[in-house]
Every structure is written in C-alpha cells, then in structure tokens.
Amino acid sequence: EPEVTQTPSHQVTQMGQEVILRCVPISNHLYFYWYRQILGQKVEFLVSFYNNEISEKSEIFDDQFSVERPDGSNFTLKIRSTKLEDSAMYFCASRSGLAGGKGDNEQFFGPGTRLTVL
Amino acid sequence: AQKVTQAQTEISVVEKEDVTLDCVYETRDTTYYLFWYKQPPSGELVFLIRRNSFDEQNEISGRYSWNFQKSTSSFNFTITASQVVDSAVYFCALTLATGNQFYFGTGTSLTVIP
C-alpha cells in the first residue's frame, strides 16, 4: 500500500543552523501538508501546498519557514535559522484531492521527523 | 472557527477494562470529517477511523467502536477489553469539506496497566 515517507527520522542541529526536512508524498496526490508537534502537545498545522504554491499557512509558519516541491516526488520544509523552540516532531501529509476519489478528504501522514535543536 | 476538545488528558485502566475516550468538536460547516489517530511511543500517527458528517451510524472494528452524535457534537471512541498494546496517545481530528488543514485535539494519553 502506498505511504508517505520522511527523511531523516531524527535530525539534530545547532541553533541558528538551517535544516531541510524531506518528504515523499503518495504518488498522484495533489495536496501536501506540514504539521508540527511539540513534545507532549497537540499536532499543529503549519502549511498546505497545492499546484506548486502555498494554499494556506498558520501563524506558526513565519519567514523562517519555507516549502518547496523541487521535483515530481519530494516535498521539503526548510527552516532557515533554527531556534530552540523549533524542536518538535514534524509530520508531512498528502491528500489525493481527486473528486470522488476514495478518501479524498483523508490526509495520509508520514512517520515524522524528530527535530532536536541544541 | 473549528475546534476539537479532548477533555481527558490522561486515563489509566487495568487490562481488560473498557475505556471511552471523549471528543467534542465545534464547526459551523455542515459537511466535515472526523478522525481518530493513535500515536504510540514511537511517535507516528496511526489512522484508526474516518467518519463524515452525514453518516451517524456507529462503527465497530474488533475491540474498537465509535459513537458519533451530531446532536452533542461528539465522536467518542471506546476500547473494549483493553490491552497493554493499546497504551498510546489518541488524537481526535476534524477537517472540513475543503479537505484542507486538520484540526487536532490535544490528545488523551491512555495507559493500560497489566
């Protein structure tokens, strides 16, 4: 069964460094998302991406964050200058978006990347 | 605005007991979808169930059952005869017909004691 994959599973970085989190959504899905979960807290929406542009973003998604779909398969989240409070689990998700498709409103989540900022 | 409330922060039960996890949601949209996810200690989100707003039929899957009541805006989850492997954090989530962002509750941490 197709699944969303994310790399790396765990990333450790120094404060102020740039990190890129990578995701491979399910093939043929049209909508892509990033979510963040600070340890012990709920999963929070960061950004949604469709047709090569951001369709919606939350207050958390400030200028330090950017997303990109550099090729036909990857979807990346870049944090330009990491802060201690960026330490969290980051989940990528994708959605079919094909009208009438099975589960077209369901977002399929990847296993997450645990980011630790020291 | 959309909101999902899981009032139970932590629940502990003894193995084989039944347990119900509560979820209350808020939305003015008439078409929406509700989900439950399980998050084991390893951290991934495991999909459990999806329910749309027009389908109030309760569902049972093995030891799991879900009770959806639009009148009270609730979508509760019951585990029958709990097992140690059920220990995890459970999240309830809501998305609208547009299918864009998910709105998650704060989660309920379930501990099943052997």
* Separation CA A27–CA B69 (nearest Å): 35
Of B43, B97, B102, the CB nearest to A112: B43
Contact B91 A41 (CB under 8 A): no
Q: Enter the tokens of residue B104.
A: 């998650």
Task: With beta carbons less than 8 A apart as the criterion, state whether B93 and B101 touch.
Answer: no
Closest-CA residue of B relative to A39 is B43
Q: Enter the tokens of residue A84.
A: 């201690």
Contact A106 B33 (CB under 8 A): yes
Q: What percent of chain A has pLDDT over 90?
A: 78
Q: What percent of chain B has pLDDT over 90?
A: 79
How far does A98 lie from chain B, in Å, by closest CA? Answer: 11
* Total count of residues recorded for chain A: 118
| Pairing verdict, β B108-113 and B88-96 | antiparallel
Q: Which residue has the tokens 């459970």?
A: B90
Task: With beta carbons less than 8 A apart as the criterion, state whether A78 and A64 touch.
Answer: no
Evaluate if residue A97 carries a pLDDT over 90.
no
Residue B40 is predicted with a pLDDT of 93
Contact B33 A44 (CB under 8 A): no
User: What does each C-alpha distance from B58 to A53, B6, B74, B108 come to in angstroms?
Assistant: 39, 19, 12, 21
Q: Which residue has the tokens 């501990």?
A: B111
Average pLDDT, chain A: 91
- Residue B52 sits at the vertex; the CA angle it makes with A27 and B63, to the nearest 5 degrees, is 90
Task: With beta carbons less than 8 A apart as the criterion, state whether A97 and A50 touch.
Answer: yes
Closest-CA residue of A relative to B46 is A109
Evaluate if residue A98 carries a pLDDT over 80.
no
* Separation CA A59–CA A67 (nearest Å): 15
Residue of B5, B102, B106, B109 for testing the chain A interface, max A β-carbons within 10 Å:
B102
B76 alpha carbon, distance to own chain's centre: 6
* Separation CA A21–CA A35 (nearest Å): 12
Residues of B in contact with A108 (CB under 8 A): 47
Q: What residues are paired with B75 via a beta bridge?
A: B68
Range in A32-46, A53-67, B49-63, B79-93 the model is least confident about: B49-63
